[in-house]
A and B are shown apart, each in its own frame.
Chain A
Amino acid sequence: MKKIILILTAVLALAGAADAKWWIFGKSKDEVGLKYLYINRLSADETGPKFKIFRETLGSDGLVKITGRASTGKSAVGSVRISLDNKGTWSDVKFADNGTFEYAFKPETGRTYAMLLEITDTAGKTNKVEETRKELTLSEESVQAKVKETLDAMFDAYSKENLARFMGYVGENFAGDKAILERAVKRDFDALSNISLRYTLNNVASGAQGRIFVSVTYNRMVFVNKTGASTQDTGSTEFVFDSNEGKLSLYSMKQPLMFGLSDAENVATGVVQGNTSAALVLDDSGNIGDGGTLVTINCAAGTWPKYTFASGAKTCSAGGGGADIWFYDETIPYLMGFSANERTFMDTLAALSGGEVKDPAGYAAVGVVSDSGAGYSYCFQLTPDFYCVEMVSAKPTSTSENVSFKVKKY
Chain B
Amino acid sequence: MKLFAAFLCVLSAVAPAAAQSEFHASNELSFSQNDVDGPGGAASSLSRGFNYLEVLNLYGSGAKGAWNYNYTVGAKATDDDRNDVKRVSLSGLQGRATNNTHTVAVGDVFESFSQYALGTSLKGGSYRFLKEGAKLPEVTAVFGWAYPRWESVWKDPAARTVTRRGAGLRVKQDLGSDLWAGLSAVSARDTGRLAASDPLYDAKNYTFDFNYVPMPGLTMSGEQSLSDSDLSPSAGAAGSTYRSGATRVELVGDADPSRVSLEYENVGTDFYSALGAATPDRRKFKTKWRYKYTKQVTFTSGLLWYRNNLDGNKTAGTTRNWKPELSAAIKKPFASRPDSFADLSYKFDRKYGGGTSAFDHYLNLNYRDRFAGLDSDSNLGYTMYNTKTGVRDANEVNFNTALNSRHETGALVLKPSVNLGTWYSKDELADETDKLYEYSLGLGVDAPEVKLTGDLRFGQNILQKSAVNTDNSAKFFASLGAYWRPKLLAKFNDSTLFLRAGFNDYAFSTASRNFREKSVTAGLNVSF
Contacts from A to B (Cβ < 8 Å): 1, 4, 8, 11-12, 15-16, 19-20, 23-25, 27, 29, 31, 33-36, 43, 45, 55-56, 58-62, 69, 71, 96, 98-100, 102, 140-142, 144-145, 162, 164, 175-177, 179-180, 183, 186, 189-190, 193-194, 196, 198, 200-209, 211-213, 215, 217, 219-221, 223, 225-230, 232, 234, 236, 238, 240, 251-252, 265-266, 268-270, 272-274, 284-286, 332-333, 346, 371-375, 391, 393-394
Are A393 and B121 closer than 8 Å at their CB atoms?
Answer: no
27 A-B Cβ contacts within 8 A? A8-B249, A23-B218, A25-B258, A29-B216, A31-B216, A69-B178, A144-B55, A200-B53, A200-B84, A201-B76, A202-B149, A205-B110, A208-B128, A219-B82, A225-B425, A227-B471, A229-B471, A230-B43, A230-B506, A252-B277, A265-B279, A270-B120, A270-B273, A272-B148, A273-B164, A274-B152, A284-B356
Chain B residue with Cβ nearest A176: B279
A-side contacts of B74, CB under 8 Å: 144, 201, 203-204
Contact of A284 among B85, B260, B285, B358 (CB under 8 A): B358
Q: Is B191 an interface residue (CB 8 A)?
A: no
| A255, B76: Cα distance in complex, Å | 24
Q: For chain B residues 220-253, which have a beta carbon within 8 Å of chain A? A: 220, 249, 251-253
Contact of B469 among A180, A207, A373 (CB under 8 A): A373
A-side contacts of B434, CB under 8 Å: 225
Q: Is B283 an interface residue (CB 8 A)?
A: yes
Known contacts A176-B279, A227-B471; is-contact A24 B24 (Cβ 8 Å) = no
| A269, B115: Cα distance in complex, Å | 10
Contact of B148 among A43, A190, A274 (CB under 8 A): A274
| A234, B82: Cα distance in complex, Å | 8
Contact of A374 among B69, B306, B398, B469 (CB under 8 A): B469
Are B215 and A205 closer than 8 Å at their CB atoms?
Answer: no
Are B43 and A11 closer than 8 Å at their CB atoms?
Answer: no
Extra A-B contacts (4), CB below 8 Å, given A36-B216, A205-B92, A228-B508:
A145-B57, A177-B284, A183-B347, A284-B358
| A407, B418: Cα distance in complex, Å | 44
Are A221 and B43 closer than 8 Å at their CB atoms?
Answer: yes
| A265, B309: Cα distance in complex, Å | 13
Nearest 10 interchain pairs by C-beta: A228-B471, A274-B161, A205-B108, A207-B110, A269-B277, A213-B121, A60-B98, A23-B253, A205-B121, A175-B277
Contacts from B to A (Cβ < 8 Å): 24, 26, 42-45, 53, 55, 57, 59, 61, 67-70, 72, 74, 76, 78, 82-85, 89, 91-92, 94, 96-98, 100, 103, 108-112, 115, 119-121, 128, 132-133, 146-150, 152, 159-162, 164, 177-178, 213-220, 249, 251-258, 260, 262, 264, 266, 273-274, 276-279, 282-286, 302, 304, 306, 323, 325, 343, 347, 349, 356, 358, 362, 366, 379, 383, 387, 391-392, 396, 398, 400, 423, 425, 430, 434, 436, 461, 463, 465, 467-473, 475, 493-494, 506, 508-510, 512-513, 527
Known contacts A190-B383, A375-B471, A393-B467; is-contact A274 B108 (Cβ 8 Å) = no
- Interface SS, B side: strand
B-side contacts of A221, CB under 8 Å: 43-45
Are B53 and A177 closer than 8 Å at their CB atoms?
Answer: no
| A61, B472: Cα distance in complex, Å | 60
Minimum CB–CB distance from A252 to chain B (whole Å) comes to 4
Minimum CB–CB distance from A154 to chain B (whole Å) comes to 18
Chain B residue with Cβ nearest A371: B469
B-side contacts of A19, CB under 8 Å: 215
Contact of A140 among B76, B128, B162, B493 (CB under 8 A): B493
B-side contacts of A35, CB under 8 Å: 178, 213, 215-216
Are A203 and B91 closer than 8 Å at their CB atoms?
Answer: yes
Minimum CB–CB distance from A184 to chain B (whole Å) comes to 11
Are B92 and A204 closer than 8 Å at their CB atoms?
Answer: yes
Contact of B216 among A27, A227, A286, A372 (CB under 8 A): A27
- Interface SS, A side: mixed
Minimum CB–CB distance from A2 to chain B (whole Å) comes to 12
Contact of B436 among A34, A98, A225, A274 (CB under 8 A): A225
Minimum CB–CB distance from B299 to chain A (whole Å) comes to 13
| A268, B273: Cα distance in complex, Å | 13
Are A200 and B83 closer than 8 Å at their CB atoms?
Answer: yes
| A176, B253: Cα distance in complex, Å | 22
| A59, B132: Cα distance in complex, Å | 13
| A240, B358: Cα distance in complex, Å | 32
Are A223 and B473 closer than 8 Å at their CB atoms?
Answer: yes
Are A215 and B149 closer than 8 Å at their CB atoms?
Answer: yes
Chain B residue with Cβ nearest A69: B177
Minimum CB–CB distance from B24 to chain A (whole Å) comes to 7
Minimum CB–CB distance from A265 to chain B (whole Å) comes to 7
Are A230 and B513 closer than 8 Å at their CB atoms?
Answer: yes
Contact of B219 among A43, A176, A189 (CB under 8 A): A43
Minimum CB–CB distance from A148 to chain B (whole Å) comes to 9
| A182, B214: Cα distance in complex, Å | 32
Known contacts A24-B253, A56-B59, A196-B45; is-contact A140 B396 (Cβ 8 Å) = no
Are A333 and B78 closer than 8 Å at their CB atoms?
Answer: no
| A286, B262: Cα distance in complex, Å | 32
Are B161 and A15 closer than 8 Å at their CB atoms?
Answer: no
| A162, B421: Cα distance in complex, Å | 11
Minimum CB–CB distance from A287 to chain B (whole Å) comes to 10
A-side contacts of B254, CB under 8 Å: 45
Residue with the greatest number of chain A CB neighbours at <10 A, chosen from B76, B110, B379: B110
| A252, B387: Cα distance in complex, Å | 30
A-side contacts of B257, CB under 8 Å: 25
A-side contacts of B42, CB under 8 Å: 346
Are A11 and B251 closer than 8 Å at their CB atoms?
Answer: yes
Contact of B112 among A211, A272, A274, A374 (CB under 8 A): A211
Minimum CB–CB distance from A298 to chain B (whole Å) comes to 12
| A336, B240: Cα distance in complex, Å | 44
A-side contacts of B119, CB under 8 Å: 175, 211, 240, 251-252
Are B425 and A201 closer than 8 Å at their CB atoms?
Answer: no
Minimum CB–CB distance from B151 to chain A (whole Å) comes to 9
Are B215 and A177 closer than 8 Å at their CB atoms?
Answer: no
Minimum CB–CB distance from A355 to chain B (whole Å) comes to 12
Minimum CB–CB distance from B40 to chain A (whole Å) comes to 8
Are A96 and B220 closer than 8 Å at their CB atoms?
Answer: no
| A194, B286: Cα distance in complex, Å | 34
Contact of B45 among A69, A198, A206, A332 (CB under 8 A): A198
Are B217 and A24 closer than 8 Å at their CB atoms?
Answer: yes
Minimum CB–CB distance from B145 to chain A (whole Å) comes to 11
| A252, B276: Cα distance in complex, Å | 10
Minimum CB–CB distance from B142 to chain A (whole Å) comes to 10
Chain A residue with Cβ nearest B274: A270
B-side contacts of A273, CB under 8 Å: 146-148, 161-162, 164
A-side contacts of B323, CB under 8 Å: 179-180, 183
A-side contacts of B463, CB under 8 Å: 193, 223, 225, 228
Are A217 and B468 closer than 8 Å at their CB atoms?
Answer: no
Are B465 and A228 closer than 8 Å at their CB atoms?
Answer: yes
A-side contacts of B148, CB under 8 Å: 202-203, 215, 236, 238, 272-274
A-side contacts of B258, CB under 8 Å: 23-25
| A217, B465: Cα distance in complex, Å | 33
Contact of B391 among A16, A240, A272, A284 (CB under 8 A): A284
Minimum CB–CB distance from B96 to chain A (whole Å) comes to 4
Are A193 and B255 closer than 8 Å at their CB atoms?
Answer: no
Are A285 and B82 closer than 8 Å at their CB atoms?
Answer: no
Are A266 and B468 closer than 8 Å at their CB atoms?
Answer: no
A-side contacts of B26, CB under 8 Å: 142, 144-145
Minimum CB–CB distance from A182 to chain B (whole Å) comes to 8
| A89, B179: Cα distance in complex, Å | 33
A-side contacts of B392, CB under 8 Å: 284-286
Chain B residue with Cβ nearest A283: B391
Contact of B510 among A23, A206, A373 (CB under 8 A): A373
Are B220 and A217 closer than 8 Å at their CB atoms?
Answer: no
Contact of B215 among A20, A45, A229 (CB under 8 A): A20
Are A332 and B527 closer than 8 Å at their CB atoms?
Answer: no
